Structure formats: C-alpha cells, structure tokens
Amino acid sequence: MHFQWYPGHMTKAKRMMQENIKLIDLIIELVDARIPLSSRNPDIDELGKNKARLILLNKADLAEEKWNTAWIEYFQKKGFSAVKVNSKKGGGMKSIQEVIQEACREKTERDRKRGILNRPVRAMVVGIPNVGKSTFINALAGKACAKTGNKPGVTKGKQWIRLNKNVELLDTPGILWPRFEDQTVGLRLAFIGSIKDEILQSEELSAELMQFLVKSYPGILAEKYGIKESEDGFEDLRGVAESRHCLLKGNELDLEKASKLLLDDFRNGRLGRITLEYPEEFA
C-alpha cells in the first residue's frame, strides 16, 4: 500500500505558518499518543526553531500508559516540554495553563528585564490532521471557538482565540508533509484516521493492523471477536466478518464492512489501549 496525500490547502497552511511565526512565543504541537513521532510534522521543527516548544500527547487514554510515560521522557530529553492530555474528556487540561507559563518562563523573564509586563503569551497550535487540535482549543477555552470534526482537514484558515489575559492562541489548519519517505509512517497515520479513508484500501489496511495486533497484542482480537488468531491478516479479517455476520447477498463475506468495523473499534478504543510505536525504534 502506497500513501500520498497533500491537499492544496496544506501548502497554503505551511506558508501561513511561516508568515505568522514571528508573532509567536510558543508552539504547542499536538501529537497522537498512539504514534507520537509518526504524527509529528518534521517541518514544524524547522519552522519553530528558537521558539519555546510544548508537545501534547493527545488521546492519551487510547494509548498504553507505560508508553505514554516513556514518550514524555523521550521528548523531555530532546528539550521539549511534554504532557499527556485527553482533550475530548478533559484529562490533563487543568494543568495546561501552568505548563504554558512554565514553557515560556525564559521569554517572560526577558520581557520583565526589558520593562514589558503582563504581555500575554501568544501560542500557535499546530498538528497534523485529525490529531484533535480544535477539540483541544475548545476544551482549553471552555467554549466552542474552533470548528471540529472526526475527519482530517476540517480547519481551513487561521483564527486568534483569547483564552484569558495571560494566553492567546493561534489555531492553524493541520499540515502533513508532501510525501511519506517511510511508508510505515503512512501506514500508522492511516490506522489512526489521519489520511482520508476514501483514498485507502480498507481491507488491506485492516489486514495490516490485524497482523500488528497479533504480533504486539496477542489475544486481543480473539477476545474481542471470538476468532482464532493467525499470522495472515486477511484470514483474521474473514474471521471477523463471520463472527460479526458481515455478509453480502448469497452469504458471501463482506470484508469491506468487517474492515470498517475493525478500524472503528481500534480508533475509538474498543480494542483497549494500544500504542503503535515505541521510543526505542527512534533511539
């Protein structure tokens, strides 16, 4: 399976970020806790050099806790502030204002020495599509400021949001890089829904996910679907179709329906807490 997806508005978004970066004190980057590195945009490191950085492991409730902790340590060693959050349910949100102030402490101290007092921190919120930026902003603001959606590419333009007298946020559209040099990255992004399902082969994608789960989380599919796990993803997919009565006319198995069911169960945490990549892969 080959991945290539870069809508035109993303090129525009990157240009807009370059234009606005000089107004910013802090870059808040949301990543998906299940794939913290694969869900980062490498462009952001270049765009954000010399700026304070905060990485939020969003959807942390969907990833294994021990790996959330390991990933936070990984990012802190790289010099970033990092915390785990669950924007949808509000987990970890109360501490964010403090974390923002702490991440900008050096900037605030420099301002104070120059006689600039009480200037709000201006933060740019960035992240790839479908990682939960708008949900995070709305949770932080306590109201619906940013448009949300469970499909990638909902936020199209920029908007400033004043949280309080201490913090102003700049929301930006999600941006992916133009090509996936490592197709494993593309595969992991497809698993979590950051690449539009309409352009993917869902049966092949589900078979790949099942092979990963059988290897890394043995027993999870057997428990959920009552199937006998094998090393053949398509065989396991047929098992899910049988178990969940996904049938076409003439009692033929509907593998596309079974694929969508499996992907939906994974993305919504119904298979349990699952992490798809680990820090030692990137040591």
Using CA atoms in the order 28, 33, 38, 39, what is the torsion angle rounded to 10 degrees?
A: -40
Does one domain contain both 100 and 237?
no
Outline where 78-155 has alpha helix (H): 96-103, 105-113, 133-141
For CA atoms 137, 143, 145, 151, the dihedral sign is positive
**Residue 190 is assigned to a structural domain of this protein:** no
d(CA 32, CA 135): 13
Mean pLDDT lowest for which of 101-115, 173-187, 200-214, 269-283? Answer: 173-187
Does one domain contain both 205 and 134?
no
Does one domain contain both 63 and 166?
yes
Q: Per-residue pLDDT for 21 more than 50?
A: yes
- Closest Cα to residue 240, out of 216, 276, 213? 213
User: Is 129 exposed, middle or buried, given 0-12, 13-18 or 19+ CB atoms closer than 10 A?
Assistant: buried
Dig out the tokens for 195 from the structure. 């690449």
Q: How does pLDDT run across 165-211, given as a tens digit for each residue? A: 888 988 766 565 545 677 888 889 899 988 877 767 899 999 999 99
Q: Indicate the residue among 117, 151, 171 that finishes a domain.
A: 171
The pLDDT score that the predictor gives to residue 132 is 87
Dig out the tokens for 78 from the structure. 């790289």
pLDDT classification of 215: cutoffs 50, 70, 90: very high
d(CA 183, CA 141): 36
User: Is 134 exposed, middle or buried, given 0-12, 13-18 or 19+ CB atoms closer than 10 A?
Assistant: buried
Supply φ then ψ for residue 162, to 5 degrees. Answer: -90, 115
**Residue 187 is assigned to a structural domain of this protein:** no
How far is the CA of 177 from the CAs of 10, 56, 62, 128, 282, in angstroms? 9, 20, 25, 9, 19
CB 199 within 8 A of CB 5: yes
d(CA 71, CA 32): 11
* Domain hosting residue 272, numbered range: 201-282
Q: Specify the CATH number for the domain of residue 32.
A: 3.40.50.300
pLDDT classification of 157: cutoffs 50, 70, 90: low
Does one domain contain both 146 and 213?
no
Using CA atoms in the order 107, 113, 114, 119, what is the torsion angle rounded to 10 degrees?
A: 50
The pLDDT score that the predictor gives to residue 199 is 67
The rounded percent of the chain whose pLDDT value lies above 70 is 87
The pLDDT score that the predictor gives to residue 151 is 42
Q: Specify the CATH number for the domain of residue 259.
A: 1.10.1580.10
Q: Per-residue pLDDT for 108 more than 70?
A: yes
Question: In whole numbers, what is the pLDDT of the chain averaged over residues?
Answer: 85
CB 123 within 8 A of CB 81: no
Please tell me the total count of domains within the chain. Answer: 2
CB 84 within 8 A of CB 60: yes
**Residue 189 is assigned to a structural domain of this protein:** no
Does one domain contain both 159 and 260?
no
The pLDDT score that the predictor gives to residue 97 is 85
Global confidence as pTM: 0.86
Q: How does pLDDT run across 53-92, given as a tens digit for each residue? A: 999 999 999 999 999 999 999 999 999 999 999 988 888 8
- Closest Cα to residue 38, out of 218, 277, 236? 277
Q: Per-residue pLDDT for 231 more than 50?
A: yes
